[in-house]
Amino acid sequence: MEQARDQAVRRLAIRADGVTLIADARGDSANPPVVLLHGGGQTRHAWRDTAADLAAVGWYAVTVDLRGHGESGWSPDGQYRLDQLAGDVVRIAEHLGGPPVLVGASLGGNASLAALGDRPGLALALVLVDVSPFVRPDGALRVRKFMAARPDGFASVEEAAETVAAYLPHRPRPNNLHGLRRNLRLVDGRYHWHWDPAFLRAAEDHGAGHDRLTDPARLHDAARSLQVPTLLIRGGNSDVVGPEDARQFLRLVPHAEYGQISGAHHMVAGDDNRQFGALLEDFLKRRVRARLEVLGT
């Protein structure tokens, strides 16, 4: 099955502002597109199983490395701002030639929401995965501390796996480390996370008065203006989006649907891809297929 999935993957190169974004596409390009955008510090491979499942049921699933992550280009000036990431989402949609469903986890969700704030008709629907304009600062800080903890890298993939296991003690450690290897790059004999170190510095204030990667006021306004079918999926044990954060979002976006995956933490799909996939596919079938029928496409 895994080999068949690999054979069906097509690599895309998408020109954005100053960088080339690398993506994997699965399924028939004539099918409705679903763009999956990962969280900060991850790569497009975080969505591998989800994308394969979506392609199998009639969607054109596209997983993208955000700028500064994975095989996508690093910002030439070392800057990473929400407006750049939102602009990249717009370019991805334009490259696909029609409005996609946007599925964004954490940073990918912020980028998608900000893009829709700028271009309300950009997408068919929006799925936010454990992210909203309302988050718990302590949980977000824990994520950033993990990302910043090993600037000198790791001596081996196994050492990186031990670090991940300590950060995610609720997950069983995988026997096969091939997936983890995709999130690392080898530089001068040391393994480093596959993202630009300058990316993390972009989240600092720099006197701008707000976090350049989250910008809660901008995301709040974008959420309030949402016109497309929207789903918020929260990890039941998330320390980033709490229950009250979810309630605030649903008050702000009354038409939004909500799903919670018991036992999952911030990285929802990685914790329970089966339940996550079932929620996502149900939403796509009910809301997006119905909208496509109305639009006659």
Answer whether residue 5 shows pLDDT above 60.
no
What pLDDT sits at residue 297?
A: 66
Residue 25 to residues 11, 61, 127, 132, 212: CA-CA distances in angstroms?
6, 6, 19, 27, 30
| Domain limits, the chain | 2-137+215-295
Per-residue pLDDT band at 61 (split at 50, 70, 90):
very high
Q: pTM for the whole thing? A: 0.93
Per-residue pLDDT band at 204 (split at 50, 70, 90):
low
Tokens read off for 52: 């394969």
What percentage of residues in the chain have a pLDDT greater than 70?
94
162: helix, strand or coil? helix
Query: Distance between CA atoms of 45 and 2, rounded to whole angstroms?
Result: 13
What pLDDT sits at residue 211?
A: 62
Which CATH number does 2-137+215-295 carry?
3.40.50.1820
Query: Distance between CA atoms of 241 and 236, rounded to whole angstroms?
Result: 9
pLDDT digits (tens, 9 = 90+) for 77-116: 999 999 999 999 999 999 999 999 999 999 999 999 999 9
Tokens read off for 249: 């979002």
48-56 vs 273-283: helix axis angle to the nearest 10? Answer: 40
CB atoms within 10 A of CB 165: 13
